[in-house]
Amino acid sequence: MDFKHPKSAEFYRYWLDLPRDGFAPSRDSFRPEQIPSLLPNFMIYELISDDYIKIRLLGSNLSEKFGGSCEGSNYLELVGPAHKIQASQALWAVVNQPCGIFGIVEQVMKSGLSVYMETVGLPLLNIDGGNPLILFQKNELDYEKKLPDENLKNHDYLKIFKRQFIDIGAGLDNVQHLIYPSLADA
């Protein structure tokens, strides 16, 4: 993977080094205290159903920039109605394939300015029979902050510019069709 932000690469290396029995590590092997520098830009999604992806944890930097009210809410409400199904399918693919997911997104901060973020998501097995989890690292890229596209509606403040899946050993044959058609040529 060719990450743009060094913390994305650090997160990926940490995840790869976690003990595992299969393609993904268990929730029990994840120790946040081992990666304190990554925690401010960290998220955990809990996949509850096709139409409910709960934001379980939002790191302090992300909470400050985007509002702490996101924690506990449904991620799918942030992507807008036109992309909810594909967003849900892509996240479920991360745990069902299993694989990782990488993206470049534009997101509006609480200040009203938009930033570009590099996002990396990787699965965690919930061995206690709970809902599947995805660990995310979201790092701001060094681009000029600007006012968001005036055509964005309030609920469409997350705009995806690039998405690709990361092969973690199980292949990617079953997930490539989940790329937004508008991103296939990007």
The pLDDT of 145-165, averaged and rounded, is 68
Q: In which residue are the tokens 């990007």 written? A: 186
Res 102 pLDDT > 90:
yes
Confidence of residue 152 (pLDDT cuts 50, 70, 90): low
- What's the rounded Cα separation, in Å, for the pair 133 and 130? 9
How many residues are recorded in the chain?
186
CB 11 within 8 A of CB 38: yes
- Which secondary-structure segment (H or E) carries 158? strand 158-166
Q: What is the pTM of this model?
A: 0.87
Which helix (H) or strand (E) element contains residue 117? strand 114-124
Q: Is the pLDDT of residue 17 over 90?
A: yes
What does pLDDT average to over the chain?
85
Asked whether the predicted pLDDT for residue 168 surpasses 60, the reply is yes
Residue 126 has pLDDT above 60, yes or no: yes
Residue 102 CA to residue 118 CA, distance in Å, equals 7
Most confident of 5-9, 21-25, 102-106: 5-9
Average pLDDT for 72-95 = 86
Confidence of residue 150 (pLDDT cuts 50, 70, 90): low
Alpha-helix residue ranges (DSSP H) falling in 18-151 = 60-66, 84-96
Highest mean pLDDT among 75-79, 90-94, 140-144: 90-94
Predicted confidence band of residue 41 (pLDDT cuts 50, 70, 90)? very high
Please report the pLDDT score of residue 24 as a whole number: 93
- The pLDDT-based confidence of 183 (bands split at 50, 70, 90) is very low
Task: Please state the rounded mean pLDDT for residues 151-178.
Answer: 75
